[in-house]
Amino acid sequence: MHIRHGRRLAALLRAAGAAALVLTVSGCFGWHAPRSIETTIERQAGVELRRDLGFELGPVSTRLAASFVDDGDADVDLRDLSRIRIATFEVTGRRDGPGRRVSPKDLGLEGWQSIVEVRKDGEQLLVLAKPQNGELREMMFLSIESDEVVYARIAGHLDRLVGKTLAAVDRDGARGGRAAIGVTSR
């Protein structure tokens, strides 16, 4: 179930990483996933984690990063995002026995709805959404793989981003949908 990121997402992450480095060096920000989330993942998934990277891009730095990856594609307008928070962890050990599925309830997230829950071969992908006033404004992604855990939260006009993705699916099928959000599978 490994998920490969397409060139657009990779470019966004490179730009976000560069912006994160510049802003971190200048003392503007730094973000760590809440320790309670990290502890819950360790307990439920039966893993030991070491934090690799954590950063947050707010409204200004998100727009700056989006401007670096804007290739004029109308289907992909990352300016619809207003906040990106990402934390990655290296899996440094496993406890005896299989880990359990991590659920939204385990994470203590209230008001969030599960959109995708996949668990296969000891790995898990969890995608949650938090609607606000009938609109999709915030999403959370949790990917637990054998060697890495990625926790990300994005905020913004996600209805528009999802709408553009669905339009690409209608026009070009699943391949168009994956391309619209910059994700391809192996």
Q: How many CB atoms lie within 10 A of CB 102?
A: 21
Check if the beta carbon of residue 90 is closer than 8 Å to that of residue 118. no
The pLDDT-based confidence of 1 (bands split at 50, 70, 90) is very low
- Output Rg (C-alpha) for the chain, integer angstroms: 17
**In the predicted structure, residue 181 carries a pLDDT above the cut 60:** no
Query: What one-character DSSP code corresponds to residue 131?
Result: E
Contacts of 166 (CB under 8 A, 6+ apart): 177
Among residues of the chain, what percentage have pLDDT more than 90?
Answer: 5
| pTM score of the predicted model | 0.69
Place of tokens 């996933």: 33
Check if the beta carbon of residue 38 is closer than 8 Å to that of residue 89. yes
**In the predicted structure, residue 178 carries a pLDDT above the cut 80:** no
What is the β-pairing status of strands 81-94 and 47-57? Answer: antiparallel
The pLDDT-based confidence of 185 (bands split at 50, 70, 90) is very low
The residue-averaged pLDDT of 91-119 equals 83
d(CA 167, CA 78): 16
Domain boundaries, given as residue ranges, for the chain: 3-185
The 10s digit of each residue's pLDDT in 126-147 is: 888 988 888 889 999 888 888 8
The whole-number pLDDT of residue 135 equals: 86
Hey, is 185 helix, strand or coil? strand
The whole-number pLDDT of residue 90 equals: 92
